[in-house]
Amino acid sequence: MNHNTPLSPRPLRHLVTTQRRVMSGAQLKAHGVSAAAAQEQCRAGGPWQQVLPGVFLLHPGPPTGEERLHAVLLYAGRTPQRRVPAGAVPVQPAAGDPHATPGGPATPYSDVLVTGLAALALHGFSAAPALLSLDHVDVLVPRTRRLRSTEYARLVRAPGLPDPVTLDGVPVAPVPRAVADAVAQLADAEAVRRLLTEAVRGGHCDPASLVRELTAARLLTRPHVVAAVDSLLAEGRAIAEDRLYAMVRECGLEDPLWNVDLRLPAGPHLGGVDAYWPDHAVAVELDTRAPRPGLRQDDDALWGAYVRKREHLERLGITVVHITPRKLRESIEQQAAVVRTALMASGDRDPAAYVVVLPRS
């Protein structure tokens, strides 16, 4: 017997007691099941079925949504396998673990991430259909992978994969990338708007990271996507402002003047700020800019104007605290501490120039 000789056949009932009954041909071989034996189990009326090339469902009924998901991962991913030494008794995989290999610990899928609507369903999006109702399961794979989309497995090739988010043991693309891959397949403007809105309103990501992914995917040439993004950016600013209000209220900061313009007496307009503490000469400004394709020069001009405004205010003795929506979402207490420190330090600074405060027009 050489290392390529399959192990002697043994009863297959140990394979169908796992919680997730879907395995690759390589995994079956590691359990002593030859390719011929697997095909025999998949004969008409047999107990198994081949659901994707090289992937077997170990029961005759239709696959569940979870089983379809793992079947696609087994088809598209690289799952390292370990062969059982000759004479050894194969060990049953842990219940619910399709990655377990006999004689060793569980190994994760590699070089593959669930993305698109399937990923958003796993992230808990109400706007994403249930896994079982999806016509396709999209998976990100390296551009060099020698596989084709087939059946309900749809491959999305990428030069590099983002860091995965592991949900229920499944490697999943981060929300911004998953949304971009889902939007790439959608022509329904309302469906696109719902996904983008839930991504931001649900706190899954900030508008800037979402727009970056849509830009990278070259999706902002589509009118219905552009319209959804315009609405998204407006909503993103409103959400960030609400979080700023909550930060002041919940973290015990003094009440500022909200959304005001600053001017020198009988002088030029200095610019608007989102919050201002006149007794301390401290201002907070939200940065809700997001990159837009074809508008790089405009973005650079806006950033340049912001920097000039900030430098001008600081020359007048006004401390400007710059906060992004992401910081407010992920570390609101830390941002409150930054503002509190600036307020407390005002007594140690030289008095600021007198400025006129007006409601923002």
Between residues 306 and 50, the one the model is more confident about: 50
Query: Rounded CA gap, 267 and 265, in Å?
Result: 5
Q: For residue 119, is pLDDT > 90? A: yes
In a domain, 297, yes or no: yes
Residue 293 structure tokens: 């394709």
Angle at 199 between CA 196 and CA 202, to 5 degrees: 135
In a domain, 70, yes or no: no
In a domain, 268, yes or no: yes
Q: Confirm if 209 and 240 have CB atoms less than 8 A apart.
A: no
Calculate the alpha carbon distances from 252 to 22, 177, 246, 249 in Å: 54, 37, 10, 6
CATH of the domain at 265: 3.40.960
Between residues 253 and 295, the one the model is more confident about: 253
In a domain, 164, yes or no: no
Task: Give the residue carrying structure tokens 């409150």.
Answer: 336
In a domain, 303, yes or no: yes
Percent of the chain with pLDDT over 90: 50
Total domains in the fold of the chain: 1
| CB proximity list for 267: less than 8 A, separation 6 or greater | none
In a domain, 276, yes or no: yes
In a domain, 44, yes or no: no
pLDDT digits (tens, 9 = 90+) for 82-105: 444 444 433 333 333 444 433 333
pLDDT number for residue 109: 78
In a domain, 298, yes or no: yes
Quickly list H helices, 131-188. 175-183
pLDDT number for residue 291: 54
Mean pLDDT of the chain: 82
Between residues 56 and 206, the one the model is more confident about: 56
Which domain range does residue 337 map to? 242-359
pLDDT number for residue 117: 97
User: Is the alpha carbon torsion for 96, 99, 103, 104 positive or negative?
Assistant: negative
pLDDT digits (tens, 9 = 90+) for 156-178: 999 989 999 999 889 999 999 99
- Residue 270's φ and ψ, nearest 5 degrees, are -90, -20
